[in-house]
Amino acid sequence: MKILALTMLMGNGVYADASFSKEATNAPILIQEGSKKAWCPVCGMALKKFYKTSHTHDKKQFCSVRCLIVDAKEHHHTTDDAQVVDAKTEKLIPAKSALYVVGSGVPGTMTKVSKFAFAQKSDAEAFAKKFGGEMVGFDKVIEMATASLESDIAMVNAKKRKKIYPMGEKIFTKMCQDDINVTQYHAINELKSAIKEEKLCKPLDPMKHQAVSLYLWEVKRVALLEKSHATIHVTQEEKCPVCGMFTYKYPRWAAQIFYGEEHYSFDGVKDLMKFYFDPMRWGKFENAQTEKITKILVTDYYSQKGIDGRTAYYVLGSDVLGPMGNELIPFAQESDAKTFMQDHNGKRIVTFDTITEAEVYQLDE
């Protein structure tokens, strides 16, 4: 009963129709690499269990369209190239050409309103006839899921705060190593994989595994990041590996790249990006490999707080100069970046994954 309760908490609020299972009938198609592939990178839920609402983008696979949208917002990518599991054939199909049945009696995944996709209209009609619901296209599904995202997140978070986080904390205290470095993982599915593969906790059933992972990822990790993000801490001994200047003298521009327990500090995003693209150009930094990056921090121009560099917005070509001249000016919110661009004659706004090495060096021209 406890496993059912946790599934209901994460899958939907009220269990409506038990005659249709979202779980994969046979071996599911999982596109992610390594042992992390079994879980959603946004919420950590088992993809096999919620397979018939699963969506993919690039090399990621999500339990639901809700988690696809969360990832798209965080990493600034489109959903147009997404694939979805056909709820009838259980094969991956282009979401753009799928026909969805929304609002059926079958519970949704991470949302109150269910959304199941089909390649064939006849399959969608048969499902709707049996379980109810309305047939719509992918664009409408994205519109509906985006509109309900805030309330869906609030619904799930309320349940997690009430039951799952306290459960996870108890499991962590009794059954896990107390020195788990939760900030070294890029996504919750990586953490779940490490807990299992590296035996960071005693053997856990799926319910306990999910509960402790959510507690570590969403409570313990967030608290640590909020503490470190208040301001970027730089010691008086740290020099920018690109220009050689003492970074602590320029706190308004401080930026850092973390490679596990090691990090390098910079006196601006421009030098950080130069190092990011080619660390060995600036010295013997063999450990500074892109795949080993665990965190990137930059300083929000307005709030002066440390923010996640990979989700920040940057203004190029403004009239505001940093310690090394023209800079990429970082902001946590796109609205702030737009205001700054208007006020300071900025040319355009870019995100981390769209910045090119050529653009960085053009700032020096």
pLDDT of 14 higher than 80: no
Work out whether the CA dihedral 167, 211, 192, 69 comes out positive or negative.
negative
DSSP label at 354? G
- What is the Cα–Cα distance from 4 to 22, expressed in whole angstroms? 14
pLDDT at residue 229 in the model: 57
Tens digit of each residue's pLDDT (9 = 90 or more) over 305-351:
899 999 999 999 999 999 999 999 999 999 999 999 999 999 999 99
**Mean per-residue pLDDT, 43-72:** 97
pLDDT band at 248 (very low <50, low <70, confident <90, very high): confident
Task: Name the E strands within 23-159.
Answer: 55-57, 60-62, 83-85, 92-94, 99-102, 115-118, 134-137
The amino acid at 347: K
pLDDT at residue 226 in the model: 66
DSSP label at 222? H
- What is the Cα–Cα distance from 295 to 284, expressed in whole angstroms? 21
pLDDT of 13 higher than 50: no
DSSP label at 328? P
- What is the Cα–Cα distance from 285 to 290, expressed in whole angstroms? 12
Residue among 337, 243, 345, 260 nearest 298 (CA): 337
Q: The pTM is what?
A: 0.65
Cα–Cα distance list, 299 to 79, 154, 177, 224 (Å): 29, 29, 33, 17
**Of 222 and 281, more confident:** 281
pLDDT band at 255 (very low <50, low <70, confident <90, very high): very high
pLDDT band at 18 (very low <50, low <70, confident <90, very high): low
What is the average pLDDT value for the chain, to the nearest integer? 92
Tens digit of each residue's pLDDT (9 = 90 or more) over 37-53:
999 999 999 999 999 99
pLDDT at residue 4 in the model: 40
Residues 334, 336, 340, CA angle at the centre, nearest 5°?
115
Tens digit of each residue's pLDDT (9 = 90 or more) over 263-274:
999 999 999 999
**Phi, psi of 263, rounded to the nearest 5 degrees:** -150, 160
**Of 225 and 218, more confident:** 218
Residue among 144, 162, 72 nearest 102 (CA): 144
Chain centre to alpha carbon of residue 255:
21
**Of 5 and 178, more confident:** 178
**Mean per-residue pLDDT, 115-132:** 98
Using left for φ > 0, alpha for ψ between -120 and 50, and beta otherwise, residue 318 falls in: beta
